[in-house]
Structure 1
Amino acid sequence: MLKTKLLLQIFFFVVSIASISGKKCDSLGLLIYEDLGCVPEHGSDDQDCPVKYTCTGLGEPDGHCYFRGKSYRKHELVDNSLTSPPCDIGCFCSPDENISRFICAVLDCPEWLGAPVTPGCYRKYSLDDCCSTGEICDSSNIEKCTVEGKEYKEGQKFYPANTCLDCVCQKGFKGKFEEPFCKRRRCGQQLRRDGRKIQTSCAPFYTKARSGEVLCCPEDWICSDDSEILKGDAKTQEICKFGQKDVKVGQYFEKANFKNFEKIKCECVVPPLLKCTDA
């Protein structure tokens, strides 16, 4: 009995640490690196979060396209399973002399087009599909999930606070945000118009970035106009690329009046990309 109790204590301690570490790392804006297929590098053994990433596909165009760390030749198709949930389908590499880019067919889900739901029914979703997969009309024997004080019906989406998770209420949910109920969010930035900005070392921009809040998919990208004045002291010799500029970890610059924000701050935290937030 004592041994069982001790094992349970260890288990919950590990789960707790993992949960805190995940939130801590996501507050650094690391999901974009997962989305780009970058390889994490850790420093000392006592550091939970990566200190930098190695990414392919950044820099001058080389006649290839890059998606999640893989190189694609001209006209080569991306496996739809890699874009899950596949809102962008039939993507193929279509580079030109100025940029490596993908061209994709974009789905038009019925719910996006304003299609009505059958009275008394609601749309159901899965983690592997972009659009709704049908309707549920008989709610007499469905699963219900209570998350952060709110109730969701089977097949409905929910997004746990302070995580970069997409979840769907399903049978068997016991309050743990894990597969098959939840998956890490995928941004698909390289498949869209932001591909050029990523390739030329622009910086991801996040809004509503209060202290300690997780940063998932960027809302926009900020590119250099050569007017940036660096501030702060370098903490290490590792650098973030911003256009043609090298910004060392700990250094930052500020911009005024960007997209109606009075001031934004771009800082080198985890190379090779800067992290920009509304200050």
Structure 2
Amino acid sequence: MRLLFFSCLIVGVIWIVRARLLSCDHLGTILYEDLGCKPVFEPGNSCPTQYSCTPFKTYKETCLFRGKRYNINEKVDDSLIMENCFYDCKCVDPVGYDKYKCGIKNCTEWSMSYNSTLCYKQYVPEQCCAVGTICMHQGKQIYECEFEGRRYKEGEIFVPSNSCSKCSCRKGFRGIVEEPFCKRSLCATQVVDYEELGNHCAPLYLPLPGQTALCCPNDWVCHSENDTIVSLSPNVNKKTNLACNFGPKMVNLGEGVVKNISYFGMDMKVTCECVLPPLMTCKAP
């Protein structure tokens, strides 16, 4: 009985932390979830003030993925990376950075044509490719969900506004962002951007107009010798001693850099600030 009580208590605590993090996506918390970091809360703050992460550096003959170390040729469980369209990811010789070699999914719907007016593909949040096809002319009753004023057919994917979760319409959905209907959209950062993490670069976020959630980074901004650290949020409590890594530098909370970068051939001015350590946060003004 006591074991059951503590098991329920642990599950309850996990769900409370998850619920708190859902409302903190504007800070870029999903990246830290993806990296396997642990949130650190301060009294009076509903969102984390920093994250505790396993150092983003290479250890001899191992690779890091979401807080776990993998030996050379050891594979990451496909269920952890399937939503990102990767499979069979294994740690390969890390020379300077943790590195993975992966297969990339080639979903049949990407190359096959079908009548989209009569049929549609069904998806679940934890998979990259469609899990089925439904055709309206087959006479099957199609289940529908309503969320945020819109209706979705069974198997359709939708993203709640200002959130880093994605959901799939399925029987039993109650209009609430909860499992198993919804899942946090993780980024597989340590598979894709291992070099940037190793160099303590900063994630660059370019959310769509009207969206506040900072989900998977659009790119990374790395430190350069001519970067000048300036105060960007002077009202931030400097007594916290919180700081972010940016290349070889440690940048205090509320401080950062303003710099010009090239983003897919476009000149762009970005502001990188220490908001949620240990990584900086970059956004376009």
Runs of 4+ residues over 6 Å off in structure 1: 209-212
Q: Distance in 1 between matches of 2:110 and 2:210?
A: 33
Partner of 1:219: 218
Given the two structures, how large is their TM-score scaled by the length of structure 2? 0.84
Q: Distance in 1 between matches of 2:124 and 2:57?
A: 36
Given the two structures, how large is their TM-score scaled by the length of structure 1? 0.85
Q: Return 83-92 or 63-72, whichever deviates more.
A: 83-92
Partner of 1:170: 170
Instruction: Return the offset for 1:27.
Output: 0.6
Identity, % of aligned positions: 38
Check the 8 A contact 1:57/1:66 in 2, yes or no: no
Partner of 1:181: 181
Instruction: Return the offset for 1:210.
Output: 7.0
**Distance 1:154-1:217 versus aligned 2 partners, 3 A rule:** same
Structure 1 stretches lacking a partner, 5+ long: 1-17
SS at match of 1:268: strand
Check the 8 A contact 2:37/2:54 in 1, yes or no: yes
Check the 8 A contact 1:24/1:214 in 2, yes or no: no
Q: Does 1:110 align with 2:112?
A: no
Matches for 1:141-220 after TM superposition, within 5 Å? 141-192=141-192, 194-208=193-207, 213-220=212-219
Letter in 2 for 1:172: G
SS at match of 2:90: strand
Q: Distance in 2 between matches of 1:51 and 1:209?
A: 25
Instruction: Return the offset for 1:155.
Output: 0.7
Check the 8 A contact 2:261/2:269 in 1, yes or no: yes
Structure 2 stretches lacking a partner, 5+ long: 1-17
Matches for 1:21-170 after TM superposition, within 5 Å? 22=21, 24-44=23-43, 46-60=44-58, 62-85=60-83, 87-113=85-111, 115-118=112-115, 120-137=118-135, 138=138, 140-170=140-170
Instruction: Return the offset for 1:258.
Output: 3.3
Partner of 1:7: none
Determine which of 254, 277, 280 is the counterpart of 1:274. Answer: 280
Instruction: Return the offset for 1:241.
Output: 0.5
**Distance 1:209-1:59 versus aligned 2 partners, 3 A rule:** farther
Letter in 2 for 1:249: L
Check the 8 A contact 1:94/1:103 in 2, yes or no: yes
Instruction: Return the offset for 1:94.
Output: 0.7
Check the 8 A contact 2:207/2:214 in 1, yes or no: no
When you count strand as a share of all residues, which structure comes out higher? Answer: 2
